[in-house]
């Protein structure tokens, strides 16, 4: 794996972890006996995530529980801005919402569906999570995980 892919993968993992954990910013937060923090995130048809800003500690393990609260399909893609733009370009070219071959934490959600992704955020920084159904990301369906 080249350095750029490794960087993108590491950033994506950080975003996934941050999105799942909430520090009083609207999503439920819970820690199980194994030290995994659970963060609940909702995706809405008015093209927003709640919470949209999450803070986690470097080294923290986060389980994101993402629920599509609407009737439209949504995604939850974790990654650096470059990763987000790459996926946005793929979706704009008629790409599929299938993420089976991806190493990045990426979830497709049908209406009413809940799915999970567990991530360990090793490095401080900022990771994004977004929905790349055509038009959603550009309309602001993006959130931020800050790893401190």
Q: How does pLDDT run across 78-109, given as a tens digit for each residue?
A: 998 988 888 888 776 555 444 443 445 899 99
The token pair at 14 is: 């950080």
pLDDT for 72: 98
pLDDT for 86: 86
**Domain with 99 in it:** 3-147
Task: Give the number of domains in the chain.
Answer: 1
Helix (H) or strand (E) segment spanning residue 12: helix 3-20
pLDDT for 20: 37
- The per-residue pLDDT for range 127-148, each reduced to its tens digit, is 999 999 999 999 999 999 999 9
Calpha distance 44→64 (Å, rounded) = 16
Q: Is the pLDDT of residue 25 over 50?
A: no
Question: 21 with 39: CB under 8 angstroms?
Answer: yes
Domain of residue 11, CATH code: 2.60.40.420
Calpha distance 114→63 (Å, rounded) = 13
Local structure of 19: helix, strand or coil: helix
Calpha distance 98→116 (Å, rounded) = 15
């Amino acid at each position: 794996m080249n350095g750029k892919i490794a960087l993108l993968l590491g950033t994506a993992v950080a975003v996934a972890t941050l999105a799942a954990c909430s520090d009083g910013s609207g999503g439920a937060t819970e820690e199980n006996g194994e030290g995994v923090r659970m963060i609940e995130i909702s995706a809405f048809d008015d093209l927003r995530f709640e919470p949209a800003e999450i803070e986690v500690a470097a080294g923290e393990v986060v389980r994101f529980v993402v629920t599509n609260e609407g009737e439209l399909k949504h995604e939850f893609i974790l990654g650096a801005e470059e990763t987000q733009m790459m996926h946005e370009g793929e979706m704009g070219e008629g790409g599929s919402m299938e993420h089976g071959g991806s190493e990045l934490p990426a979830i497709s959600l049908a209406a009413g569906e809940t799915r999970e992704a567990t991530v360990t955020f090793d490095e401080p920084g900022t990771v994004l999570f977004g929905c790349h159904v055509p038009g959603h990301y550009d309309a602001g369906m993006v959130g931020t995980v800050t790893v401190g």
